[in-house]
Amino acid sequence: MIEANIDLQPHNTLAIPANTAFFARVETLDELREALSFAQQKRLPILPLGGGSNIVLTGDFPGLAIQVGLRGLTIAPSGRGGTIEAAAGEGWHRLVMSSVERGMGGLENLALIPGNVGAAPIQNIGAYGVELCDRFCSLQAMEISTGELHQFSASDCEFAYRDSVFKGRLQDQYIITQVNLRLAEDWQPKVSYPALQQFIEQQGWDCNSLTPAQIAGAVTDVRNSKLPLPDQIPNAGSFFKNPVVNADIYQSLKAQHPDLVAYASGASWKLAAGWLIDRAGWRGRRHEAVGVHHQQALVLVNPGRGSGDAVTGLARAIASDVQDKFGVTLEPEPRYYP
């Protein structure tokens, strides 16, 4: 059912107050086609919604917001791995925990990432040394203009760091309806990320006997210790991508700032955006209704339920300051609408 003039504040984790001209929650493929047909007839732009954790509403949305509520989760273990077929409306963390509870390894490093399954491939979610593309098999997506279903392989998705074809040349052309993952049967734990490694050492665990469930629990504890839950303090998780620079820029910054936090990424270096923002003096700062989290500078928070303009204004100020101080460009992770 299509509803008019609906408040989107409950549907975005930054709790930004904004309305959408039209709203539909779809739970079947036919309902999704009907919603798309309605938008086409009225020539409306479309805002796909999952958990609302990767969007910034800069104002009222003049089109149709479609909350994708497709459900269904099929997990087939094989050895320490197996296959997973998940509908787009399933919660990402629920998928991860459902797999590790069955002894399957491969997704545990991605525990507690907010949002739903359908959004995961769009920005190629990643955490603690693992990215979705490492476990990806294929996905199904509905073409917005025709209502037809299409299959996409990993190469079709053109995955890159926090990027995919759905943020590039196919942006706003498809709505993802199902994601299929393949987890290796000869799973081995991946716990070299410093914060995760430190937690495991503190627990006195033997890295050679770790289970996927143990690692998922460790990741959850580490994330909870550093990141605020959106239902407690409105936020969209990590607001900026970690900027990737060449070796020359990295070496120059390292010479100026010996404690610079960075990670090798092929021939390039991935700088910790949180470190840059923190060193620029933004951690814990409040600007009217919005601010920067006091524990993790990478997270912008909206405790005062401020406007999208307040959030984007703060983001621009931070990016400008980091550019001036370090010569590095910060790029937001969430997408701005409209």
Active site residue 98: no
Q: Parallel, antiparallel, or unpaired for β 61-68 and 19-26?
A: parallel
8 Å CB contact between 280 and 322: yes
Taking alpha carbons only, the member of 139, 78, 66, 87 closest to residue 106 is 78
Catalytic residue, from 53, 99, 238, 307: name it.
238
Q: Which residue's entry shows tokens 């969007």?
A: 55
DSSP per residue, 285-332: -EETTEEE-SS-TTEEE-TT---HHHHHHHHHHHHHHHHHHHS----B
State the catalytic residue, choosing from 53, 223, 283, 333: 333
Clarify whether 102 is annotated catalytic.
no
Return the closest-CA partner of residue 274 out of 218, 335, 194, 165. Answer: 194
Per annotation, catalytic residue among 162, 223, 279, 283: 162
33 belongs to the catalytic site = no
Sequence letter at residue 66: I
Q: Is the peptide bond before 62 cis (omega within 30 degrees of 0)?
A: no
**Start-to-end CA span in the chain (Å):** 23
Q: Mind telling me the catalytic residues? A: 162, 238, 333
